Amino acid sequence: MTERLTQVTAADVDDLARGAAILGTGGGGDPYIGKLMAEEAIKEFGPVTLVDPGDLPEEAAVFPVAMMGAPTVMVEKLPSAGQFTGTLSALAQYVGQAPTHVACMEVGGINSTIPLATAARTQLPLMDGDFMGRAFPELQMVTATMYGLPCTPMSITDDKGNAGIFATVSNLWAEKLARVATVEMGASSIISLYQMSGANAARSAVRGSLTKCVQLGRALRAARAAHENPVDAVVQILGGRVIHTGKVTDVLRRTTAGFARGEAQIEGTGANKGATLQLQFQNENIIASREGQVLSTAPDLLICLEADTGEPITTESMRFGHRIALVAAPCDERWHSPAGIELVGPRYFGYDLDPVRWNEADLG
Amino acid sequence: MTERLTQVTAADVDDLARGAAILGTGGGGDPYIGKLMAEEAIKEFGPVTLVDPGDLPEEAAVFPVAMMGAPTVMVEKLPSAGQFTGTLSALAQYVGQAPTHVACMEVGGINSTIPLATAARTQLPLMDGDFMGRAFPELQMVTATMYGLPCTPMSITDDKGNAGIFATVSNLWAEKLARVATVEMGASSIISLYQMSGANAARSAVRGSLTKCVQLGRALRAARAAHENPVDAVVQILGGRVIHTGKVTDVLRRTTAGFARGEAQIEGTGANKGATLQLQFQNENIIASREGQVLSTAPDLLICLEADTGEPITTESMRFGHRIALVAAPCDERWHSPAGIELVGPRYFGYDLDPVRWNEADLG
């Protein structure tokens, strides 16, 4: 499947959610919950039309929508259906313009399926793309920031019916204010932000993300049915490589200030026997190092797959005993520009490291 | 002076600010800063017209404006002039209606002078009233809440140029969300909230507050000029009484979650010699007790005046050695209704006490 999808039906949601969880690099929340919400919305309102960013009318009003907060909380506190439309309406009222298209900010379990559910409920087409090409933990970490596009005005809603708007002097200020509001709202919220024209979306978006999600999900399913190696099928589509296989022997995880931060120890098996890999995450997987050698870092993708099934493992579901194939894969090339590295390189996440690309380390 | 003021000139600001600091019962911020901002605005844009709440057109769009945050911070971080008009514009854009009148939420140093500065800068008339008849620390603590009037949509801005809107399911949720945003904005913000019609303002406002402020300021000044007792002059206008005189021997003060909380010990002098009064405050003075006897509590007014000059002392400026006359005076009678006591009685502030009225305790 190399051509673009033109619509997402209820039958596609499962593949899309699984593929999104893979590209979510450990973050993006529980794919199961997002899947249910999107399926329910498509069953009620019909399939969702996908539009390539390059095919958007220049004057289109593109409203990205996302969930903000700690994935560990999202598992227990579902958004209400009215929150999706409410978030768009609040922003539309403030900017005085109705949305013509819905979009994803990131790919990642719940943040691909929530825009899908929103598009279904509002009967609007969904952009086949996003602004990360993966998942990242903070609002300003989007390709749009590199194009100088403002995050705000943004809207924020909670499951109780509270709504807010922020119009800030920088995307970092939007992150700060929306983050404290999200924490106060119970550690998760639905937001609409980076509202932009079709022309700006075409310039800044990572194209074809949703098609790629479905492609990943389908390939995984096909490999399993054919008793082929599902991890290989994923690696082939991503253009990456397996950098470690092993068993999770320890996971430290804490939910602070609206983030799930932590690290996992993955004791090597097979070719990696005797060497333990340390995986550090902040909602998403950020740094993989083994025996003092950094193997790969953000912005490239670090993806934990269940070794046997190829099933993606989120940072909040990882637990002792999981047998894992850790995949490193290239991100959108724009993230490797100086502006990109400043936004999402290891130093921003608090590690005194230069970025290491997915294929840079000598695996021995 | 029993008749209403019809306008506030630059020459009135000093009296108004001093009177507001008296009614601010220890809160409301540094009256000096607010005074300067109002004087500057009136000098540049001309006197401000005052309108009695009863004379507002029914369809008037009344936009109250206030500063939110810790008075201890307001002393060091001034709002920018553009923040006043910016706060109104943000709310006007969201509600799709331009303001016809500015109003005060409370009387109290800075929260009487900021609406005055805003009215001057926007060339709009100012309502001669407020929604507390004193100062209180939280957004929902207004007479408007007792009339079921919603706090939101509200706008919030900071000195850096960030703006926000909240539309919440309750006034308490508005308080929570605006409070965390205020803390993130640097512990102070300018807000516009309880936007209402002239008809609703006429029903719910405490009338004549600004006239009363000027009246208090003038009386204080006249008493000093005539070498009469300025504390007596204030007590007479308020209809209250002095419940303690003494010297401040200790002040504990901490700024937490956007509030200045603490307590002061006032060692009795004169008739109160040998008895120490304990004054508890949360931005405003809340509870006065002496030797285990509660003398007066919120919602009635507890006002610290400098014993010699009658000058009001805010909770953040109170210090060791201050010689104080502590005045208790009646609040707007609606605060003593069950709904009023629930909002601003001692239990809401965390004290397991029934309210004690200003004239209830036997002072011996």
* pLDDT digit string, tens, across residues B301-316: 999 999 999 999 988 8
Q: Which of A93, A169, A185 sits opposite B160 (nearest CB)?
A: A169
Q: Which of B165, B184, B185 sits opposite A164 (nearest CB)?
A: B165
- Residue A74: what pLDDT? 63
- Residue B1: what pLDDT? 45
* Reported ipTM: 0.77
- Residue A73: what pLDDT? 63
Nearest one of B4, B137, B133, B6 to B69, comparing CA atoms:
B137
Taking all residues of chain A, what is their mean pLDDT, rounded to a whole number?
93
Q: Which residue of B has its CA nearest to A168?
A: B162
The domains of chain A are located at 7-209, 229-344
Determine the CATH number of domain B7-209.
3.40.1610.10
pLDDT of residue B9 exceeding 70, the answer is yes
Chain A hits for B161, Cβ within 8 Å: 168-169
Query: In this predicted model, what pLDDT tens digit does every residue of A77-125 receive, in sequence order?
Result: 777 778 999 999 999 999 999 999 999 999 987 889 999 999 999 999 9
Chain B 88-107, residues with CB within 8 Å of chain A CB atoms: 90, 93-94
Query: In this predicted model, what pLDDT tens digit does every residue of B66-102 receive, in sequence order?
Result: 988 876 666 677 777 789 999 999 999 999 999 999 9
CA B345 to chain centre: 17
| Beta-carbon separation of B166 and A162 below 8 A | yes
CB atoms within 10 A of CB A43: 13
**A166 in reach of chain B (CB within 8 A):** yes
* Sequence-ordered alpha helix ranges (H) in A165-323: 171-184, 198-204, 209-225, 230-238
Omega of the bond leading into A47 within 30 degrees of 0 (cis):
no
Kindly give, in sequence order, each residue whose CB lies less than 8 Å from that of residue A2, ignoring residues fewer than 6 positions away.
Answer: none
- DSSP character at residue A136: -
Shortest distance, CA A149 to any CA of chain B (angstroms): 16
Name the phi and psi angles at B131, rounded to 5.
-120, 20
HSE-CB of A67 using CA atoms within 13 angstroms? 40
| Beta-carbon separation of B165 and A165 below 8 A | yes
The two counts, helices (H) then strands (E), for chain B are 11, 18
- Residue B69: what pLDDT? 81
**B161 in reach of chain A (CB within 8 A):** yes
CA distance A355 to A334: 14
How far CA B136 is from CA of B25, B319, B345, in Å, comes to 9, 22, 11
CA distance A302 to A136: 12
Question: What sign has the CA pseudo-torsion A13, A18, A24, A26?
Answer: positive
- Residue A275: what pLDDT? 96
Query: In this predicted model, what pLDDT tens digit does every residue of A44-62 receive, in sequence order?
Result: 999 999 999 999 999 999 9
Rounded mean pLDDT, B156-181: 94
Which of A1-5, A72-76, A198-202, B310-314 has the lowest average pLDDT?
A72-76
Amino acid at A253: R
CA distance A302 to A166: 32
**Best to test chain A binding among B180, B182, B183, B191 (most A CBs inside 10 Å):** B180
**B78 in reach of chain A (CB within 8 A):** no
CA distance B66 to B82: 14
**B334 in reach of chain A (CB within 8 A):** no
Query: In this predicted model, what pLDDT tens digit does every residue of A242-274 receive, in sequence order?
Result: 999 999 999 998 876 656 689 999 999 999 999
**Cα angle value B176/B179/B184 (rounded, 5°):** 130
Shortest distance, CA A242 to any CA of chain B (angstroms): 42
CB distance B57 to B141 below 8 Å: no
| Beta-carbon separation of B164 and A166 below 8 A | yes
| CA gyration radius, chain B | 19
- SS3 state of residue B233: helix
Q: Which of A163, A169, A177 sits opposite B184 (nearest CB)?
A: A177
